[in-house]
A and B are shown apart, each in its own frame.
Chain A
Amino acid sequence: MRSRYAPVAFFIAVVIAVQFLTLIIDRPQYLTQLTMAGYYSLVIIGLCMLIGYAGQISLGHAGFFAIGGYISAFLTTYDLMPHKGNALAGIVAKAGLLVTVQDLYGGDALVFHPWIACIAAICVTVLIAYVIGGPVLKLKGHYLAMATLGFGTIVYKLVLGTTFFGAADGLSDIPGFKLLPGLEVSGKNSARIQNYYISWGMVALGMLLLANLIHSRVGSALRAIHSAEDAANAMGVNTGRYKLNIFVLSAVFAAVGGIFLTHYNGGIGPSEASIMKSVRYVAIVAIGGMANLWGALSMGIVLNFLSLRGYFGSYDDTVFGVILILIMLFAPEGLLRREVFRNAKKWISGRGKAEGQKA
């Protein structure tokens, strides 16, 4: 039991160490990309549970990220002032759900409070995930892959084509999200360090919850489903409900990542819902080891950070496409599996032995 929490503690130590590292090498701007990478990691670890443990592929998870981000963005920027007289707006205002903010021209705008927007976005995500997940998860193999791909594309086309969501430009000027007095999710330079810890704190919390889940009765059931679904069913495991619940859970993780990244960036665009983003998430889970949460997380951090800092240049999408091909061709169970480490150890010690014999 204690060994389960050791990696989390180690992880938190690393997070703190990295922050000090950026101070030492005088690169505080790295914190920005690291913070963003953190929110993307939420998507990745949720997806890892779905693909690696429950064995269900999703090529449309960027869709859930976008649903979370766009809804919270919309609700915190859509000015209800012109609708003040409207009965519904009146009820909502009286319920204390709204705040007054400064609009672009210095006047007052009436928008939803970020907490309300956040909860609403999560609720909508849960609803959509349950509605879509039910029929989608009954599919197998390429049908399942195509259905999730289709879902992601629908979300993309919808946000791209709807003026309410800013069409091709997306939504911007998203206000910060005050979590607690003094703790705000926003892109302000002054709050950089704070936001770094908020982001990675959430990731640490997410890892803790998922690590607990994996070692619980649910985790065993998921592994059984992944391994031999019909046998699991015959042993009394309601496989349909488990797959659906893990699908919804992974969707919520993605949406939360979307909500917070949107407040941090101050904006969101349709590219966050694109197939390329979904493929990217799958590629990272694949290279990290499919059923390896920590592997997916570490790969996610590295690759997202490099991508966000622009190291891949115009070959950004190509890199992830190539990674995906290579992993699927040569190491379909993922790269960071225990067998790979074991073989590497054997190889290294084997070499050492041979050299010892020569001497």
Chain B
Amino acid sequence: MDFRTREGRGPKGVTILEVHHLNKRFGGLQAVGDVSFFVQQGSIKALIGPNGAGKTTLFNLLSGILPPDSGTVRFSNANIQGLQPYQVAAKGMSRTFQHIRLFTHMTALENIMIGRHMHSRAGFLAGMLSLPWTRREEKAVRERSLAIMDFLGIADFADTEATSLAYGQQRILELGRALACDPKLLLLDEPAAGLNMRETAEMAKLISRIRDTGITVLLVEHDMSLVMNISDEIVVLSYGHKIADDKPLAIQKNPEVIKVYLGEEDA
């Protein structure tokens, strides 16, 4: 099965995500302050900034886990701010988590199959009666999920319990689960966290391959080698505010950014 055939990707050059003046305050802390940026279809955009800059909060605002105080998020021709996470997922945005959130007591394959949930229909009644079409649907879901595991190189672990995989494999598995949603936009929250240099390089290659299939990627990351290598554009946050939004080379030379962030980083 050619994993790369997909509809609805759209031509490059189109803006797939528009963030306008997003705000989120927690008590006295302005976690995200008046952040605006665009993401181009088919690109990889990175979100960087020191710890506490509001990157994960921003992700949570985009994916619907938190409602913003104000501002709009335009995705897939609709305003999605304030929608529930499952509604945002249905629009074509899926994500991974900073701290791995795999489903325990389920195998790796079963984890991926949950990602296909939106693309299957069997409900309570059909499930209880085990109607024939639900069995066919289940088979299709399983095959598609295996194909994804194949693409990611982890097909050997299909029937292993997800939480008993090595850390690096778990990260890839969570990526696979998000891919199973057939997203147009993939949000990756620190995909290389806890990975060694070799694993990070492989993750970078994986993300590039994913982009090559037509999926847009927005990622939060601390590892500068990965970010600089594969990103088309970079947004820099500091204390909840955007201080730069540019191509990687320009970011490296941006004095504001250097002052706030890159100065302490070893690339």
Q: Mark B95-123, 1 if CB is under 8 A from A, else 0.
A: 10100011111100010011101101111
Q: Are A212 and B130 in contact (CB under 8 A)?
A: yes
Q: Are B86 and A218 in contact (CB under 8 A)?
A: no
Q: Are B106 and A223 in contact (CB under 8 A)?
A: yes
Minimum C-beta distance from A9 to chain B (A) = 15
Q: Is B138 an interface residue (CB 8 A)?
A: yes
Q: Which residues of B contact A218 (CB under 8 A)?
A: 122-124, 127
Q: Are A233 and B84 in contact (CB under 8 A)?
A: yes
Q: Are B128 and A220 in contact (CB under 8 A)?
A: no
Most chain B Cβ neighbours within 10 Å, of A210, A228, A233, A235:
A235
Q: Are A234 and B89 in contact (CB under 8 A)?
A: yes
Q: Which residues of B contact A103 (CB under 8 A)?
A: none
**Alpha-carbon distance A72/B210, docked complex (angstroms):** 59
Q: Is A231 an interface residue (CB 8 A)?
A: yes
Minimum C-beta distance from A51 to chain B (A) = 15
Q: Is B25 an interface residue (CB 8 A)?
A: no
Q: Are A209 and B129 in contact (CB under 8 A)?
A: yes
Closest A residue by C-beta to B126? A216
Q: Mark A220-257, 1 if CB is under 8 A from B, else 0.
A: 11011001101111111111100001000100000000
Q: Are B103 and A227 in contact (CB under 8 A)?
A: yes
Q: Are B85 and A234 in contact (CB under 8 A)?
A: yes
**A:182-239 near B, CB below 8 Å:** 209-210, 212-213, 215-221, 223-224, 227-228, 230-239
Minimum C-beta distance from B151 to chain A (A) = 18
Name A235's contact: one of B106, B114, B124, B129 (CB within 8 Å). Answer: B114
Q: Which residues of A contact B103 (CB under 8 A)?
A: 223-224, 227-228, 231-232
Interface size range of chain B in the complex? 35 or more
| Contacts known (A234-B63, A236-B118); A217 close to B134, Cβ less than 8 A | yes
Q: Are B124 and A237 in contact (CB under 8 A)?
A: no
Q: Which residues of A contact B181 (CB under 8 A)?
A: 235-236
**Alpha-carbon distance A233/B90, docked complex (angstroms):** 10
Q: Are B86 and A238 in contact (CB under 8 A)?
A: yes
Q: Are A216 and B127 in contact (CB under 8 A)?
A: yes
Q: Is B177 an interface residue (CB 8 A)?
A: yes
Q: Is B65 an interface residue (CB 8 A)?
A: yes
Q: Is A1 an interface residue (CB 8 A)?
A: yes
Q: Are A235 and B89 in contact (CB under 8 A)?
A: yes
Minimum C-beta distance from B183 to chain A (A) = 10
Q: Which residues of A contact B105 (CB under 8 A)?
A: 223, 227
Most chain A Cβ neighbours within 10 Å, of B95, B114, B122, B134:
B114
Minimum C-beta distance from A132 to chain B (A) = 19
Minimum C-beta distance from B224 to chain A (A) = 27
Q: Are B86 and A1 in contact (CB under 8 A)?
A: no
Q: Are A236 and B117 in contact (CB under 8 A)?
A: yes
Q: Are A221 and B117 in contact (CB under 8 A)?
A: yes
Closest B residue by C-beta to A233? B85
A-B pairs with lowest CB-CB distance, top 5: A216-B127, A236-B118, A236-B89, A231-B101, A212-B130
Q: Can you list 23 A-B pairs, Cβ within 8 angstroms, ordered by A? A: A1-B135, A209-B128, A210-B128, A212-B128, A215-B130, A216-B128, A216-B134, A217-B117, A217-B123, A218-B123, A218-B124, A219-B127, A221-B114, A230-B65, A231-B103, A232-B103, A234-B64, A234-B97, A235-B94, A235-B117, A236-B89, A236-B117, A237-B86
